[in-house]
Amino acid sequence: MVSKKTILTPLLAAGALLASSSVFAAGPTAETLAGTCSACHGYQGNSVGIMPSIAGSTAEYFTDTMKAFKSGERKATVMGRVAKGYSDEDIGKMAGYFSQQKPVGMKQSFDRTDAALGKKLHDEYCEKCHEDGGRNNEEGPVLSGQSKLYLTYSMEDFKMSHREGPKKMSKKVKSMVEKHGKGGVDAVLNYYASQQ
C-alpha cells in the first residue's frame, strides 16, 4: 500500500518547482534591478559622490534618459553600455522604483553668499521649470541637493554641445549669463548644493 507521504512528497516538490519557475519567469524585481545602480548612484538612488542622485526622478524622465543612453542619443562614457543591458520592461520597473524614493541632499561644501544670490537667480530664471527650488520637475532631474561638481560638468556639457538641453533652458541660461556673467550660473549651482 502506498502511503500519503509517498504521494504527497513528489506533489509538493513539483508544486515548489512550478512556483519557483513562475518567480523566474516574472523576471527580477524593481528593487533587484535598482540595486545594481547603487554602486554609482548610492543607496536608493541617493548619491554620495560625483554621480547624480536619481531618487525622486519622475518615471518619464528616468525612462527617457535611459533610452537616450541606450540608443546613443545621449553621450556617455559608461551609461551607454550599462543601459544596453536592460530591456524596456526592466527600465520601466526601475523608473517606477526611483520615482518613489525620497531624494536626500548631498552633504557638500558651498558658498553661502553665492547660494543666497543663486536662490534669487533660480527664482527668476529656473523656477518655472525646476519648481520648488529645484526639488520638483515633471520634465527633468531633481536639482536641489545634487552634487555641485556633477551639475558643473553637466552645464559644461550643455555649453560645449555635448549634451542637448531644452531650447527654453538654453534661452534662460543665456539670458542669465548676459546679465550676471558666468558667476550667475555658479551662484545657482551653489544654491542647489546648499539644499542638504
Residue 112 per-residue DSSP state: H
Half-sphere exposure of 24 (CA within 13 A, CB side): 6
Do the annotations mark residue 160 as ligand-binding?
no
| Residue 176 counted as an annotated binding residue | no
The runs of H, that is alpha helices, within 27-130 are: 30-35, 38-41, 59-71, 79-83, 88-99, 112-121
Q: DSSP letter at 136?
A: B
Query: 155: annotated binding-site residue?
Result: no
51 is in an annotated binding site: no
Nearest CA to 154 out of 127, 128, 173 is that of 173
Was 94 annotated as part of a binding site? no
Residue 145 sits at φ, ψ, to 5 deg, of 80, 0
The verdict on whether residue 79 carries a ligand-binding annotation is yes
SS3 39: helix
Determine whether the annotation assigns residue 180 to a binding site.
no
Does residue 41 have a known ligand-binding role? yes
Q: Between the CA of residue 129 and those of 17, 117, 140, 143, what are the distances in Å?
A: 51, 19, 8, 11
d(CA 118, CA 183): 9
87 contacts: CB under 8 Å, gap ≥ 6? none
| Binding-site residues from annotation for heme c | 37, 40-41, 79, 126, 129-130, 169
| Binding-site residues from annotation | 37, 40-41, 79, 126, 129-130, 169
